Amino acid sequence: METEKINHQPSSTDPLPPQQGYVRRDEESLSAQELYKKKRKKRLACVTSFLVLLAIAIIVYLIVATRYKTPRFRLKAASFSTFEVGNSTNPSFNLVMNARFSIKNRNFGRYKYDSGVVVFEYRGMAVGQAYIDDARVRARTTKKVNAMVVLNSGGLIGGDAVFDELGSDIGAGVLELRSRSELEGKIEVVRVIKKEKYARLNCTMDVQIATQSVQNLICE
């Protein structure tokens, strides 16, 4: 007896087997997308925090930096390479002074100043000048400037009264001098913010004839 082979054909009513592979891939894809979104949000939060901190730092820096302070211009020391002084009856003087100036910048930006002149006076009358070249002073630093000054009584005016006073000072052994100047410049912060500032010098000193030296050097 022949065995009858029956081929079972699936009908439209039979349930389909579960597609587990596709479900798993969809779940993995969703997990990857969520992870990417989380990482992206974290990066954005870090960048935002950094920008906020940077903005705060810049604001604080500008607040501190823009508290502009007037640079200090001073005569720090002086000596003489030539020292010729007359006497009380024939009063005169011819001095060559080696002066050392300082320009102190107390700001957080550099100070750029133009060239200027320091005038030396005896009893309110000019007797010599020192020339200061234009330059820059870095932030929070002091620049030293050396200059030679010829001080001569030949330019004094006022007649006998002035020379009588000069003779009296020479007899006392002391010549009182004053130096004045004003440097025009600008303070520059990050090369964008600029503020005009004048560095002023106003110093008095005693020239001791016996020791040929400067004493009691006082700057305001």
pLDDT exceeds 50 at position 1: no
What percent of the chain clears pLDDT 70, i.e. is strictly above it? Answer: 83
- Per-residue model confidence as pLDDT tens digits over 119-155: 999 999 999 999 999 999 999 999 999 999 999 999 8
The two tokens of residue 43 are: 């990066």
Determine the straight-line distance between the first and last CA of the chain, rounded to whole angstroms: 135
- Per-residue model confidence as pLDDT tens digits over 96-108: 999 999 999 999 8
- Per-residue model confidence as pLDDT tens digits over 10-34: 555 555 555 555 555 555 565 777 7
Each as own residue / partner, the long-range contacts of residues 126-131 (CB below 8 Å, 24 or more positions apart, any chain) are: 126/155, 127/151, 127/152, 127/153, 127/155, 127/156, 127/177, 128/95, 128/97, 128/152, 130/99, 130/101, 130/179
Higher pLDDT, 3 or 184: 184
Mean pLDDT of the region 65-83 = 92
CB 176 within 8 A of CB 151: no
Residue 128, pLDDT score? 97
